[in-house]
Amino acid sequence: MYGYYRVAAAVNKTVVANPHKNATEVLALIKEAHTKEVSVIVFPELTLTGYTASDLLMNQTLMASQNDAFQYILKNIKEINTISVIGLAVFEADRLYNCATIIQNGKVLGVVPKSYLPNKKEFYEKRQFTTGRDITRTTVDLLDVEVPFGVDLLFTDKKDMTFGVEICEDLWAVTPPSNHMASNGANLLFNLSASNELIGKHEYREELVRTQSARCMAAYVYSSAGVGESTTDTIFGGHAIICEYGSTLLENERFRMDSHLITADVDLERLRWLRVNESSYGDTRRKKTRVIKVDDLPELSTLERDINQTPFVPSCYADKKHRCDEIVNIQAHGLIKRMSHAHITKAVIGISGGLDSTLALLSTHRAYEIMGWDYKDIIAVTMPGFGTTTRTKSNAVELCEALGVTLKTIDISDISLNQFEAIEHDKDEHSVTYENVQARARTTLLMNMANKVAGLVIGTGDLSEIALGWSTYNGDHMSMYALNSGIPKTLIQYVIEYYKSNEKIADIIDDILTTPISPELLPHKGDEIVQETESIVGPYELHDFFLYHFIKYGAKPKKILYLASIAFNTKYDEDTLTQWLNVFLRRFFTQQFKRSCMPDGPKVGTISLSPRADWKMASDVDFEVWMEELN
């Protein structure tokens, strides 16, 4: 389903050295996973014997019992297409290997040996096992069947899933095998482990799994031995973790006494295309691998995953101060460098009382605060016109006064009327010409003011407007430094709200945040805004959602629509979502010519539309295939 796969990490109730009892628990978990539409489930290391069987692993009776129990599992999963990754001790060439067996529909697809054997302090695996790190391109006789054997095995459904398996200490090594698996296309990694519990170790373990998922640009599923293991010298907590590209999707509660599993839906299609879009993944060295085709997997009937409505906005509210400081400091230091390099001390900024100009002013103010520059050298210009309301103008004025900047007011009504007369446009015809004359008049005034005071015009347009082309060409489209160009509208609202901590401007910020977004270019009625941007181009929360998925990993329109239907399921119906996604696609493609000549501005998040950096696209691209895919 749109590249999503359900994966599971299972911790089975373990009885040390009793494979048949363990097999009963394992089989029950496999069946549970299958009913939950899980594609792949992973179990702890040495699943059927227990990791702490220790030297008994070299005993023929235990090995025979393990193989019988494994055969029992295979016979009972012939109709189960969920793939299971189970830990076995495998006897081959008079050596014993600590292995992962990959099974589906009653068949063994492959066997992967452990590469790195811990042999220090409480671990002494080299007593029993031989490393398998050099085993490639060979087979092993397992239950009288020759099956692929080696560390060079990957498994794929020939769609979006390719997975690899490593075992416990492999992850802790300087160069984990999963690095090579990922460089050869594995976007899903599994780890069977027997990591014991020490004070603070579980936190480090989670961090290790999470960061490895980020390094490999993959999903990583980890399962560790549980409390049924021996407690002779150490304790096992049964830690299960599922991560995706640097984020922990789910962890279990450790020290549970029962058999249990956790599941999460991972977006493997997204991971494949993120590798193309965002990294030097293509430069990683490939090794020879054997890729095993798996049978068809369970189909997901529903997606069990939260889809964030505002992907640009940090999800952890507790980190808000840190995140907002980061954003404003990026903006401020970008501006400091530009002004210092140009030996300019004055900043000229148009203030409307709206979100964008408010953030641009606040970030400019922060730059002056950092450098100890005089706030009076920030020249804020409010330029009321035919659509300016008392509410927005008063908010602009009060904000400037509270921040101690220089405030100038220039009414553009007469200037615009002169322009109408010059180009023979009827002032009562409220067309796009009527609007754009005002927008260009404001930009011209700012540019001329900057020349007069030897200042720099600060652009206020944001990433959302740049994506939609919602600006007047050579009007608000232009500036000398586009301070907000890397920040979408939803994130701007988030950052501005942070400034409410400043009591001097808290009430002003509150009113700005609740003011409808508007260019205020059409005459108002009774001092009320009549031109609301979101009723014309659509809600910015939707456009920011569309933009993120479209640019981040090149998602198809149908997938974007599907994800939006989940994220906004109680707010917008599918027809409304389709309507605005059509608008987004049409405007995004047709407005590239504005982005091709946009001014410099700092990149803030992972997405930028600067033609000099992140986004290069011809201005005359035909977008028919995207519209057809959606409609």
Q: Out of 25, 32, 45, 169, pick the active-site residue.
A: 45
Give yes or no for a contact between 325 and 494, defined as CB atoms under 8 angstroms apart. no
Is 243 annotated in the active site? no
The closest of 193, 147, 146 to 168, measured between CA atoms, is 193
Helices (H), 59-152: 60-75
In the chain, how many H helices and how many E strands?
Answer: 20, 20
d(CA 67, CA 180): 30
Six-digit token string for 34 = 């299958």
3-state class (DSSP) for residue 290: strand
d(CA 520, CA 522): 6
Apex 342 CA angle, 337 and 348, nearest 5: 85
d(CA 622, CA 81): 43
Is 99 annotated in the active site? no
Six-digit token string for 108 = 């063994």
d(CA 179, CA 183): 6
Question: Amino acid identity, residue 330?
Answer: I
The closest of 597, 604, 589 to 494, measured between CA atoms, is 604
101: phi then psi, degrees, rounded to nearest 5:
-105, 135
Six-digit token string for 518 = 């508007």
Give yes or no for a contact between 142 and 90, defined as CB atoms under 8 angstroms apart. yes
d(CA 354, CA 518): 8
Strand order in the sheet with 455-459: 406-409, 378-382, 346-350, 455-459, 481-482
Question: Amino acid identity, residue 275?
Answer: R
Q: Out of 25, 32, 37, 114, pick the active-site residue.
A: 114
Residue 331, number of CB atoms within 10 A of its CB: 28
Contacts of 503 (CB under 8 A, 6+ apart): none
Strands of 217-336, DSSP E = 219-224, 240-244, 247-251, 260-267, 290-293
d(CA 396, CA 390): 10
Q: Out of 13, 25, 166, 168, pick the active-site residue.
A: 168
The helix (H) or strand (E) run that includes residue 348 is strand 346-350
Six-digit token string for 58 = 């070299």
Six-digit token string for 239 = 């830690």
Give the max Cα distance, the chain: 101
d(CA 261, CA 253): 10
The helix (H) or strand (E) run that includes residue 181 is helix 177-183
Burial class from Cβ neighbours inside 10 Å (0-12, 13-18, 19+) for residue 123 reads: middle
173 φψ region: left (φ > 0), alpha (ψ -120 to 50), beta (else): beta
DSSP-derived secondary structure letter, 530: -
d(CA 297, CA 117): 33
Is 114 annotated in the active site? yes
Q: Which residues are catalytic?
A: 45, 114, 168
